[in-house]
Amino acid sequence: MDRKNLTSVSEFILEGLSTDPTMQILLFMAFFIIYTVTLLGNILIITIIKMDSHLHTPMYFFLSNLSFLEICYSSAIVPKTLEHFLTDRKTISFPECATQIYISLSLGETECLLLSVMAYDRYVAICHPLHYTVIMSKRMCFMMAGASWTGGFLMSLVDTAFTLRLPYCGPNEMNHFICEIPVLLRLACTDTRITELVVFVVAVVILLIPFLFILISYIRIIITVLSIRSAEGRYKVFSTCASHLLVVSLFYGIVMFMYMRPKSSHSQDQDKKISVFYLVITPMLNPMIYTLRNKQVKGALRKAALRKIFA
């Protein structure tokens, strides 16, 4: 087909999660509550880490980065979705769609890298405790966090550029509530196999390499923990990794299922439900996981509450 004769679409229509007006109101309320809890929970973690000097360590520095990322991640997705729950015509312009894809993809890829950096931090703390302060210096922490953010935003340029260079001439209806690459590619007016291959290769690089790094780190951690004679000592050491392991399991389990399964096994309705979990619910769960399973964070919260009461 001659690309010169193709008429580019200027906006996309999102079918959303439901067409039932009552269900849309219920979904609006649910998403609004989740978004509010996400913002408050992650802001609380960042604030507590900044206020409590005992939490001024590499582990909590990276955790504050993760919390800030979750705030940005939710804010790139949920406000537009909330707006669509209250309108009959759920449209998003091509530039808005492109921006949403790039930002959400960049933040997702940054999270992959941040989680691997956090695993390395736990590895050094447990396997090389005597050299921990030297290896994980303040300068090194800033460099590792900066590399994670830079790497995520640079890598996502590849996926985004290959996707947006394709012609989109109609139809312009997406069976989704946000713009995502797999959904957008279905609307392209040309062969998308090369772009799909590029997206898959980038997914392998940005997902599997950090995942393998995390896996190797935890294998070394487990070997070290098993060498500790005391059962209580083993539990105490490994408990510092529990929250991170749970977050990694949630994130990688869902994202790998979404982006790395064969195209033939994709179901649009199923993809929407999975997207709700990893785009909307997971950013809310992460601060809860780190708060409920972390004694130091809970202790800092109690101290902050007591200071507020007796101030």
DSSP assignment of 163-220 = HHTS---S--EESSSS--HHHHHTT-SS--HHHHHHHHHHHIIIIIHHHHHHHHHHHH
Instruction: Evaluate whether 119 touches 214 at the Cβ level (below 8 Å).
Output: yes
Block mean pLDDT (10 aa), the chain, length 311 = 57 87 92 94 90 87 94 93 88 92 93 94 92 94 96 92 88 88 88 89 87 93 87 79 85 73 64 82 84 68 65 55
Count other C-beta atoms under 10 Å from residue 90's C-beta: 21
| Euclidean distance between CA atoms 269 and 247, whole angstroms | 25
| Euclidean distance between CA atoms 140 and 289, whole angstroms | 26
* DSSP class per residue in 11-43: EEEE--S---HHHHHHHHHHHHHHHHHHHHHHH
Q: Which of 49, 48, 46 is nearest to 38 (CA)?
A: 46
* Domains assigned to the chain: 7-310 (1.20.1070.10)
Rounding to the nearest 10 degrees, give the CA dihedral for residues 292, 298, 301, 302.
120
Q: Which of 79, 1, 97 is nearest to 36 (CA)?
A: 79
Instruction: Evaluate whether 243 touches 290 at the Cβ level (below 8 Å).
Output: yes
Confidence (pLDDT) at 73: 92
What's phi and psi for 29, nearest 5 deg?
-60, -45
Confidence (pLDDT) at 307: 66
Count other C-beta atoms under 10 Å from residue 295's C-beta: 9
